[in-house]
Amino acid sequence: MGAARGTPRALLLFLALVLGGSAPAAAALTSPPPASAAPVAPSPAALRSAAAVTPAPCPSAPATVAPSLPAASPAATGGGSPSPLPSPVAADPCAGATVLGPAGAASPSPAPSPSPAPSASPSPLPTASPPPVRPGKVRLRADVAMTPRLPCAEFPTSGCVNRADIYYPENRGDWPTIVTLHGRPRTPADMAELARALAKEGAVVFNIDYRGVRPVSRGFPDSVTDVACAVRFARERTARYGGDPDHVVVVGHSQGGYVGAMVSLFGDTFPGQAGECFASRRTSALPDGFAHLAGVTLNDRDHPVNIIFFGGTFAAIPEVWLRGDIYHRLQGRQRNRDLRVQIVFEMNDPILSDPHATLFQAALRREGYRSKLALLPIGSTHFDILDLDTAVGRTAFRLVERLIERTRPR
């Protein structure tokens, strides 16, 4: 068209119409260009649309960041169906996070404005915990009466007063409370070494006496009632010596193992007569732990000593024998579900056979009690287990200490 600069306008219009153009378009071709284009003002609708998509300035506060995509599972990377993308997460675009759209595409949000760093305040120094209280020297308060004078076979004319020797650390603390029980026909002297050693390690120990064992005489239910009284008495008095009334462990040897088991399992069913104990019958006689050291659990119904102890033959008074039978009472009659038991027995004990330990352990576990059994191949006498100068005595002592620790309130 550059050669047609001088072509008449009418001829140009004729050519545009022949080529198929419209009249307005042909007019536009023939019109000279404007000298300068004036800016066109946007319409109000266009302004509103632009405001809707223009992000507002970001505040300085940090915003929640959308979580990143999870790593592809092995199935997805192996050519299987891809894991579905997470649902879109609404995130503040001012947080500088990645916002996931419906198709999983990521679009970066504007970076946040830097906020002023908070002034660091010094952290408080940790408070040093006080050092543990050491027990210190062992003190003894001997012959503390637990009962008034009671009828007994030892002194049929004057009667008996059940007493306790109380071993306790000189330094007051929240010490566990231990009740130690000797065997038949023995005295509290058998348990004195163990009682003192436990107090030295940090315990308030009530080494007690009870009826029905010296000489061999009728002892049921009096011996069990007396030991239940001793546990109540210890619980009520131990705080005076720095002991914890809520942490009580009974330790019984030989016949003391029998009466200790009866009280540890069923002690609250032996309240005794009113006025027979210097402790309330409402106080619990159930301990937290029981250590059974070379103890009795089986009562031979034909043995003369047991016939004397129960006051007659089984045929004559079966209800008395059954009330004092540990295994009969264990059957579905748990009374102390939280009790923990440690049984320690010498395999070479010349007086008692190990079924006193193994059958007791099986019965306890069958009824759901938390019980441990240690059958020791060391020791040669019935009393080695109480002698801390022997290997079996030291082993038994460590096991009693572990029981005390297991029953410590948390």
pLDDT digits (tens, 9 = 90+) for 175-227: 999 999 999 999 999 999 999 999 999 999 999 999 998 877 899 999 999 99
- What gap in Å lies between CA 208 and CA 215, rounded to an integer? 17
Q: What is the pLDDT of residue 217?
A: 86
- Measure the CA dihedral 395/398/403/409, to 10°: 180
pLDDT digits (tens, 9 = 90+) for 331-352: 866 679 899 999 999 999 999 9
Look at the block and give the residue holding tokens 């109480």. 386
Better-scored residue on pLDDT, 71 or 297: 297
Do 338 and 307 meet the contact criterion of CB atoms below 8 Å apart?
A: no
Of 269, 270, 267, 271, which is closest to residue 286 (Cα–Cα)?
267
The secondary structure of 181-208 as a DSSP string is E--TT--GGGGHHHHHHHHHHH-EEEEE
Domain boundaries, the chain: 140-406
pLDDT digits (tens, 9 = 90+) for 57-89: 444 444 444 444 344 444 434 444 444 434 444
What the block records as the tokens of 268 is 């609250």
- What gap in Å lies between CA 400 and CA 409, rounded to an integer? 16
Q: Is the pLDDT of residue 122 over 70?
A: no
Q: What is the pLDDT of residue 176?
A: 98
**Residue 244 belongs to what H/E stretch?**
strand 243-253
Q: Which amino acid is at 230?
A: A
3-state secondary structure of 145: strand
- What gap in Å lies between CA 362 and CA 354, rounded to an integer? 12
Fold entry, domain 140-406: Rossmann fold (3.40.50)
Q: Which amino acid is at 293?
A: L
- What gap in Å lies between CA 357 and CA 351, rounded to an integer? 13
- What gap in Å lies between CA 285 and CA 225, rounded to an integer? 10
**pTM of this structure:** 0.69
Q: Band of the pLDDT at 295, cuts 50, 70, 90?
A: very high
Sign of CA dihedral 359, 365, 368, 369: positive
Share of residues in the chain with pLDDT > 90 (%): 63
